[in-house]
Chain A
Amino acid sequence: MKRTPLFSAHQKLGARLIDFGGWEMPVQYTSIVDEHLAVRKAAGVFDISHMGELTVSGPAAVSFLNHLFTNDASKLAIGQGQYTLMCNENGGVVDDLYVYRIAKEFFLLIVNASGVDVDAAWISKELEKFPHRNEIQFADGSDNYAAVAVQGPKVKEFITQVISGKSVGGTTVNSVTELNKNEIGIFRFENENVFAARTGYTGEDGFEIIGLNAAIQKIWDKLLEAGKPFGCVPAGLGARDTLRTEVCYPLYGHELDENTTPVEAGVGFFVALDKGNFVGREILAAQKANGVSKKCIAFKMTDKSAPPRPHYPIWIDGAKIGEAVSGTQSPSLGIGIGMGYVPTEFSKADTKIEIEIRGKRAPAVIVKKPIYRKG
């Protein structure tokens, strides 16, 4: 199994390790619930070094990204990032990712761990066919880069003890805390440059910090040390999953896959039809105009029950109509929650459904996304 540069730090912290898509990653250090609630109330630090870092640069970079992805990269000012999706010709999702414009002609892509090889192959294949391929450089920096996410309402109170000073690239700011949501800056950390973006996967304020392996090892230790008085704890993939499920962020392999389109998944907002042609546009445009036959819904159990899990059948009026794709006990709400696909006619909020749990059906209700809302 692959290990991140923070592996020995996880061992020292007594993390429970699991195989996550070929990576030996911490699922929890103490308890998923405790780590989850720490992120909602204070702060948590996650190792996200398993995620991939790809770069696309050159004079034709924007037009290439706009051919590859659903969102409009030309709208990005220097130092801005956007959520976007890479689709196949059928509109199915190859991967979902974040694209950051670091400089006028230099873009950083943060992709799913499971997607690194698939995406690199896909992008290389598209590049070979692209008319202006000679004006584009594409590279996979995943082996050299590590990353941490530091998330939670208290993060802004201690982040500057670790990432200090003004930015030297990306968005121009005097302090990392001046970054707005989705902005990225380059900051000096000791003698290295690191990227810090005001993004995350938890529904809380926070930052994702990307840098060379050695720098991130130091940043991990420093964040835990600086954050400790504020209640910051190391948090594992278990809490990362419950946090993102509460706020209904899609996870590739669950809400998204190559047979599911962004419109069906409820992320059609990130499909920019007005930017010109791109891979999958035809089908996505038709779906936006004519509607879709299935939709990704969020649901909440209405009674005490076993937590819903992926693949549990969804029933309505005595008929099986769909399947859960994510499900867990919500640590914030203390009840089972999940997401799943149902035919569009049954997808309205407040629709009463049932989730089949080990052969028995338990009542649930479709709710508006996100399932959990701050405050």
Chain B
Amino acid sequence: MSNVPNELKYAKSHEWVRLSGDTATVGITDHAQHELTDIVFVELPAIGRTVKAGEACAVVESVKTASDIYSPVSGEISEVNQAVVDKPELVNTDPHGNGWFYKIKLTQPDEINSLLSSADYTKQIQG
């Protein structure tokens, strides 16, 4: 059973968002890391890059496959987590914590409202 923390918002494409003021932290969900298993490589966007919601901006590779990670929100990348680049297994062991991917300064804060609640995301992954 996947962990779906209440305080986070979710994208259908299995990223989570933690909002703090005008900045959001983004990572992939516990369900996603479990589906991928054995994450061996993470490629993050450059700081300062502007991305649109739904744009592919990171890559996570398991032993078997490479998967694009889509930004759940639009904005400018303000910080990336070097720790997951150095230790990709953090995404498996702590997906909602130390396994975060990047922070993004929101340019369309309303987009947050169209993301899924933990209840809705739970329904999606159980469906």
Residues of A near any B CB (own CB < 8 A): 27-28, 30-33, 238, 242, 304-307, 309, 328-329, 331, 358
Q: Which residues of A contact B38 (CB under 8 A)?
A: 31-33, 329, 331
Asked if B82 CB lies within 8 Å of chain A CBs, one says no
Q: Which residues of A contact B66 (CB under 8 A)?
A: 306-307, 309, 358
Pairwise interchain contact B41-A33, C-beta atoms closer than 8 A: no
What CA separation (Å) do A306 and B58 show in the bound complex?
Answer: 12
Could you tell me the distance in whole angstroms from the C-beta of B92 to the nearest C-beta in chain A? 9
Pairwise interchain contact B63-A306, C-beta atoms closer than 8 A: no
**Out of A242, A305, A331, which one reaches B41, CB within 8 Å?**
A305
Could you tell me the distance in whole angstroms from the C-beta of A309 to the nearest C-beta in chain B? 7
What CA separation (Å) do A307 and B37 show in the bound complex?
Answer: 15
Given contacts A31-B37, A32-B37, contact A307 B59 (CB under 8 A): no
Pairwise interchain contact B41-A32, C-beta atoms closer than 8 A: no
Pairwise interchain contact A238-B61, C-beta atoms closer than 8 A: no
Asked if B79 CB lies within 8 Å of chain A CBs, one says no
> Number of residues in B with C-beta < 8 Å to the partner?
11
Within 8 A of A (CB), among B85-123: none
Pairwise interchain contact B64-A32, C-beta atoms closer than 8 A: yes
Closest chain A residue to B89 by CB distance?
A: A33
Task: List the 8 shortest-distance A-B pairs measured between CB atoms, nearest first.
Answer: A329-B40, A32-B63, A306-B41, A33-B38, A31-B37, A329-B63, A31-B38, A306-B61
Could you tell me the distance in whole angstroms from the C-beta of B31 to the nearest C-beta in chain A? 13
Pairwise interchain contact B64-A27, C-beta atoms closer than 8 A: yes
Asked if B43 CB lies within 8 Å of chain A CBs, one says yes
A to B contact number (C-beta, < 8 Å): 42
What CA separation (Å) do A331 and B89 show in the bound complex?
Answer: 13
Binary flags per residue of B24-56, CB closer than 8 Å to A gives 1, else 0: 000000000000011011010000000000000
What CA separation (Å) do A328 and B62 show in the bound complex?
Answer: 9
Residues of B near any A CB (own CB < 8 A): 37-38, 40-41, 43, 59, 61-64, 66
Q: Which residues of B contact A304 (CB under 8 A)?
A: 41
Given contacts A306-B43, A306-B66, A309-B66, contact A28 B61 (CB under 8 A): no
Closest chain A residue to B40 by CB distance?
A: A329
Given contacts A242-B63, A329-B41, A358-B66, 12 further A-B contacts (CB under 8 A): A32-B38, A33-B37, A33-B38, A306-B43, A306-B59, A306-B61, A307-B61, A307-B63, A329-B40, A329-B61, A331-B63, A358-B59
Q: Which residues of A contact B64 (CB under 8 A)?
A: 27-28, 32, 238, 328
Q: Which residues of B contact A27 (CB under 8 A)?
A: 64
What CA separation (Å) do A31 and B62 show in the bound complex?
Answer: 10
Q: Which residues of A contact B61 (CB under 8 A)?
A: 306-307, 329
What CA separation (Å) do A110 and B64 show in the bound complex?
Answer: 26
What CA separation (Å) do A30 and B61 show in the bound complex?
Answer: 17
What CA separation (Å) do A50 and B64 show in the bound complex?
Answer: 20
Could you tell me the distance in whole angstroms from the C-beta of B88 to the nearest C-beta in chain A? 10
**Out of B40, B41, B59, B63, which one reaches A238, CB within 8 Å?**
B63
Q: Which residues of A contact B59 (CB under 8 A)?
A: 306, 358
What CA separation (Å) do A328 and B61 show in the bound complex?
Answer: 10
Could you tell me the distance in whole angstroms from the C-beta of B85 to the nearest C-beta in chain A? 9
Closest chain B residue to A239 by CB distance?
A: B63
User: Most chain-B Cβ atoms within 10 A of its Cβ — which of A238, A242, A331, A358?
Assistant: A238
A/B interface sample: 23 pairs, CB < 8 A: A27-B64, A30-B37, A31-B37, A31-B38, A32-B62, A32-B63, A32-B64, A33-B37, A33-B38, A238-B64, A304-B41, A305-B41, A306-B59, A306-B61, A306-B66, A307-B40, A307-B41, A307-B61, A307-B63, A309-B66, A328-B64, A329-B40, A329-B63
Q: Which residues of A contact B37 (CB under 8 A)?
A: 28, 30-33
Q: Which residues of A contact B63 (CB under 8 A)?
A: 32-33, 238, 242, 307, 328-329, 331
Closest chain B residue to A33 by CB distance?
A: B38
Closest chain B residue to A334 by CB distance?
A: B40
Closest chain A residue to B64 by CB distance?
A: A238
User: Most chain-B Cβ atoms within 10 A of its Cβ — which of A28, A238, A304, A329?
Assistant: A329
What CA separation (Å) do A28 and B38 show in the bound complex?
Answer: 11
Q: Which residues of A contact B43 (CB under 8 A)?
A: 306, 358
